[in-house]
A = this chain, B = another copy of it.
Amino acid sequence: MAESAAALSASSDELVQRAPTSSLADQYRSVRAFSHRLCEPLSPEDYVVQSMPDASPTKWHLAHTTWFFETLVLLESSPDYKPFSSDFQYLFNSYYNSLGAQFPRPQRGMLSRPTVDEVHAYRAHVNAAMAEVFESGRMEEDAALSSVIEIGLHHEQQHQELLLTDLKHMLAQNPTYPVYREDVQTERQLCVPLHWQRWEEGLYSIGSDGDSFMYDNEGPRHRHFQQAFEISNRLIVAGEFIAFMRDGGYKRPELWLSEGWARVQEEAWTHPLYWAEQDGHWKQFTLSGLRDVNPIEPVCHISYFEADAFARWFGARLPTESEWETVAAVEPIHGNFVESDRLHPAAAEGVNGDMRQLYGDVWEWTQSAYSAYPGYQPVPGPLGEYNGKFMCGQFVLRGGSCATSQSHIRLTYRNFFPPTARWQFSGVRLARDV
């Protein structure tokens, strides 16, 4: 699962240079406050429900991200720190076997206690202790400490995105279509036409060299021989996906991977997750309730299997992650992130053939199975459990989504989910051989 954060492979010196103590304290306050802001529209009841084993209750996300700082920072480096509750080491450990037993993941929704107020008190307790750490100046002598805190912040940003996607999934179970937040969408009228951008074969380098923050799975940077390819200038939109559906997309086994076709049958998939047909019109459940599907917005909440079948139907294929990174390496990081407060992908306006939407809007499925880069080594210690142990059965997604923080994303970022996953903001960009 993609709750993983991972670990620095950068040296201490580099860390100190790029993350001065004062700014890390600011980042800490800012990231932690954002978790609270995301919860403002919620009632206590909304924090409790776990709608499927892959998702977690809001309350759990708030507590688990706090547990991270308590366990890996405070209990490690602050001898006087008193844990908020002895139970929480067990209740809020996600999957770190090296840190002890874990309360079973599928049971997270069984816990009415601790209450939301107690979880907030837990957060305040840890924040106070962290403030002391920042004030103590200890971090200036202890680059490893800064490093773990920085990971903890990226970890919390990941969980902020999961908090939103898990919340959306939970609200979608409710036949009354509850609204998390009133709609702030601005209607766009046009969508840029689909173009193909060509790239020539050659030796390219991909992956992170550790000069800036990275998870361990992003390195080492390494050479890769790339065949020539073409890539589409924008994401596939809902209207194009509807054309696939109308052409029998969900009924034609020849378009699907074998496992994908089995899933289509078992779960009777006929459209993206959260879509529903009403009186001949396609609606979709969003964090602002049920609204019309806008045909020029990127299609969203589709599995790898659906992305792959669409590409095959289109006469194209999904890009590999090295193709994606090669293309994205020359583009700036901007887009429709969580900061835009749309919480929904937006149409790509404009007319020229420039590369669009590489970042934000939706995570882009790649055809690359999530695996180790040549020479990959997990970091030692508990943080080595972040990434490496999930290198099986999952596919890489790139570029972040409308639920991702802009400060969290980067060129070399590798997200990963099983090919059946649909509850993330996931969509599709096409590539093809030349």
Contacts and interface: CB of A to CB of B under 8 A. Distances in A.
A256 B97 CA distance: 11
Given A43-B113, A45-B48, 6 more contacts: A44-B45, A45-B47, A45-B113, A97-B253, A112-B170, A304-B392
A107 interface: yes
A227 B374 contact: yes
A253 B256 CA distance: 35
A29 interface: no
Contacts of A45: 44-45, 47-48, 59, 112-113, 115-116
B259 A97 contact: no
A302 to B, nearest CB: 15
A209 B381 CA distance: 45
Contacts of A305: 392
Interface string A377-391: 000000001000111
Sort A-B residue pairs by CB-CB distance and give the 8 closest, nearest first. A369-B369, A97-B253, A110-B173, A44-B44, A227-B374, A225-B225, A45-B112, A258-B389
Interface residues of A, number: 66
Interface in A84-124: 87, 90-91, 95, 97-98, 103, 107, 109-117
A46 interface: yes
A111 B178 CA distance: 10
Contact of A48 (B95, B112, B372, B393): B112
Contacts of A115: 43-45
B371 A367 contact: yes
A258 to B, nearest CB: 4
Contacts of A174: 110-113
A1 to B, nearest CB: 8
Max chain B Cβ within 10 angstroms of own Cβ: one of A44, A97, A115: A44
Nearest to A95: B258
7 contacts: A43-B115, A87-B175, A111-B174, A114-B176, A203-B203, A259-B392, A317-B372
Contacts of A46: 112-113
A257 interface: yes
Given A257-B391, A367-B372, A112 B419 contact: no
Nearest to A103: B175
A375 interface: yes
Interface string A222-233: 111101000000
B392 A98 contact: no
A225 B227 contact: no
A51 interface: yes
A109 B48 CA distance: 9
A112 B49 contact: yes
A57 B103 CA distance: 21
Contacts of A59: 45
A427 interface: no
Max chain B Cβ within 10 angstroms of own Cβ: one of A47, A98, A258, A259: A258
A176 B91 CA distance: 9
Contacts of A368: 371
Nearest to A85: B176
A424 B219 CA distance: 34
Contact of A178 (B47, B95, B112): B112
Max chain B Cβ within 10 angstroms of own Cβ: one of A49, A109, A375: A49
Contacts of A223: 225
A389 B97 CA distance: 36
Nearest to A308: B392
A214 interface: no
